[in-house]
Amino acid sequence: MSNNDELDRLCINTIRTLSMDAIQQANSGHPGAPMALAPVVYTLWQRFLRYDPGHPEWADRDRFVLSAGHASMLLYSMLHLCGVKAAGPAYEIPGRLSIELDDIKRFRQIDSKCPGHPEYRWTSGVETTTGPLGQGAANSVGMAIAGLWKAGYFNRPGHELFNYDVYALLGDGCMMEGVTSEAASYAGHLGLSNLCWIYDSNKITIEGSTDLAFTEDAEARFQSYGWHVTHVNDANDLDALAKAFSLFKETGDRPTLIVVKSHIAFGSPNKQDTNSAHGEPLGEEEIQLTKKNYGWPEDKKFLIPDGVPDHFNAGIGARGAELHRAWATAFDSYKKEYPELAEAVTTMQDRKLPEGWDSNLPEFPADPKGIATRVSSGKVLNSVADNVPWMMGGSADLAPSTKTTITAEDAGIFSMEYTKGRNFHFGIREHAMGAIINGLSLSKIRSYGSTFLIFSDYERPAIRLSALMEIPAIHIFTHDSIGVGEDGPTHQPVEQIASLRAIPGLITLRPADANEVVEAWKVIMQLRCEPVALILSRQNLPTLDRNKYAPAAGLARGAYVLADAEDGSPDVLLLATGSEVHLCIHAYNQLKAEGVRARVVSMPSWELFEQQNEEYRSSVLPPSVTARVAVEQASTLGWERYTGTDGTIIGMKTFGTSAPLRDIQEKFGFTPDKVAAAAKATIGE
């Protein structure tokens, strides 16, 4: 064995033993995958990854996604040994390591940079939050799309700013999850040649052998998707791994799946790797035996032998720094020749907006007939997209209904033939769509995806993760209520709005008319760390006369007084979102004619309203006025926080029914008469 071979093995065993020791000390975690896959990740990072540890936010870096997030110690060990630096909120480099050895020693403990699964925004070098299997794989598809789009839009002859690849490491669990299949199918359809998935085929899950539940020919499945599939029969064969990665680099017309066969080498020959591959530390005795098997000091914990950091620094460290320096020099030249494009690169990377992004937002005149908020939203989206070139997205086969197509002449449809395309036909793949737009957002693209509100259930895991990661992904949902009508209860959302409101960090917005839609998009575009669920109507809604009613700009505060009692001292509050605001206005006028003083409050976003100070919230919902009626064509769950025990909620306590809209509204009590009657009953008249 040569000195280089010995040093390779030393580095690989350092990754393994750091992982074992951290998991044992925490008495929690999954040692099997880090032990088995250390050679794979070592080879990729040390010899191929286009990555500068000193600048983990470098725009043209290769991305590495650990979709098998239970193997988190594999990534944490690499980040530490490669010397990846921390990046601050403004992408500055404060000079400390992203992961110190003490963080590894405190794996899965409070405030450690090494939590149980990789978390974006918590640890520099982690490209996306993973743990729910398959999500990271689907995110990587969005990252690959973003890389090709940036190359298509920004690169110029003699100026190649973007040319990065995306790698994702998957396990058997990822391969079983449906989101992986959806994303892989779409990636194959697009021919994403900059995408490489590494499949750790070790045939083990928590319950035992994959033969219990997973006997399909996954390789044939990926070939049918249009992927290039290659094999490495032994995860410890560094030359075979290098050959497979080189083959990926040479494949220019499709994504690549590298199937790696791995087996965990424990110290005890009778050790079964089932549980330890997933949720069980090895135990001190087994760790000592395994270290002995590696030729490692059995009594040493968290040992990093001399020469290991230097070897990583001479490999990925030196190569990455040189690549980054060359890129920075090229970018300086690019700025001189293409100053506007260079400014756009910087603005996009900093999650900022170009000057004048809102210069041509539409204004909608008062109109009693009005338009559906899905239609007005489409108009606003296009006005914004005209000024924000990196805004893009699509629909799960429903763009004609959700009105989310960018119509600019050069927008086009994204494909390998036209990588500047900004419209995506995701197909009927809601779950993958949500995860892919998260990947786009993680790549600093202003991304959106759209479908009917009822199908937010199919997208929910990705929505939850966009909130957990604090990324400004835009989730657009139309056909927002039982107003869908004849399509019936399978397509009439009832519990979905309440379900979305339950997600911490997600802002829900359900505007009442076209001008509230304009204000909603103003809020959305200025968010940098919060995802949004924009909920829109299928049916026309009147465009309110803002000379008669309060300005729509009140939407930015989540709730505002739309119409008030003449003396500003109402007897009853009428609270609503979306289309039901108009029911409350009709009821308000009826009550006013009868001498009842009412206030109409439009509440498009509970989350924005709760961010306001107590003085403002009390000015909108005076604590002294306990007679309150909330109206929403959705589940009543949650409205009691605003109506209190003395109020009334007009909402849905069952599923909907198939019938014309007016018949449905009458059946479930969504009429001005019912709202007015409830208001009087609540007052006590």
Condensed to tens digits (0 to 9), the pLDDT of residues 627-685 reads 999 999 999 999 999 999 999 999 999 999 999 989 999 999 999 999 999 999 999 96
Q: Which two tokens stand for residue 47?
A: 């010899």
Buried b (16+ CB within 10 A) or exposed e, 557-583: bbbbbbbbbeeeebbbbbbbbbbbbbb
| Backbone Cα Rg of the chain | 28
Which phi and psi angles does 54 have, rounded to 5°? -75, -15
More confident residue, 646 or 476: 476
0.85 exceeded by the pTM?
yes
Lowest mean per-residue pLDDT among 281-290, 306-315, 387-396, 501-510? 281-290
pLDDT value for 80 = 98
Is residue 601 a contact partner of residue 620, using CB atoms and an 8 Å limit? yes
pLDDT top residue among 4 and 250: 250
User: How confident is the prediction for the chain on average, in pLDDT?
Assistant: 95
Structure tokens at 163: 């040319």
Please indicate whether residue 430 is annotated as part of the active site.
yes
Please check the confidence at residue 271 and state whether its pLDDT lies above 60: no
Please list, in sequence order, all residues whose beta carbon lies within 8 angstroms of the beta carbon of residue 382, skipping any fewer than 6 positions away: 406, 407, 408
How many angstroms separate the CA atoms of 75 and 66, rounded? Answer: 7
Q: Is the pLDDT of residue 141 over 90?
A: yes
Q: Is the pLDDT reported for residue 515 higher than 50?
A: yes
Tokens read off for 12: 């690989």
Range in 279-293, 310-324, 429-443 the model is least confident about: 279-293
Helices (H), 131-283: 135-154, 172-176, 178-190, 218-225, 238-250
User: What average pLDDT does range 59-84 have in this prediction?
Assistant: 97
High-pLDDT (> 90) share of the chain, %:
91
| Per-residue tokens: 537 | 């109507």
- The answer to whether residue 274 scores a pLDDT higher than 50 is no
pLDDT in tens, 663-676: 999 999 999 999 99
Contact 405, 434 (CB under 8 A): no
pLDDT above 70 covers a percentage of the chain that reads: 97
Reported confidence tier of residue 15, pLDDT bands at 50, 70, 90: very high
Q: What is the pLDDT of residue 485?
A: 87
pLDDT-derived band at 275 (thresholds 50, 70, 90) equals very low
Q: Which pair of tokens denotes residue 511? A: 């505007």
Which residue, chain included where needed, has tokens 């490999």? 315
For 492-519, what is the mean pLDDT? Answer: 98
Say which of 127, 430, 519, 580 is annotated catalytic: 430
Average pLDDT over residues 38-52: 98
Q: Which domains does the chain have, with CATH numbers?
A: 3-324 (3.40.50.970), 367-542 (3.40.50.970), 555-683 (3.40.50.920)
Q: Which of 188, 189, 145 is nearest to 166 (CA)?
A: 145
- Report the pLDDT averaged over residues 500-523: 98
pLDDT at site 267: 62
- Residue 1 pLDDT > 60: no
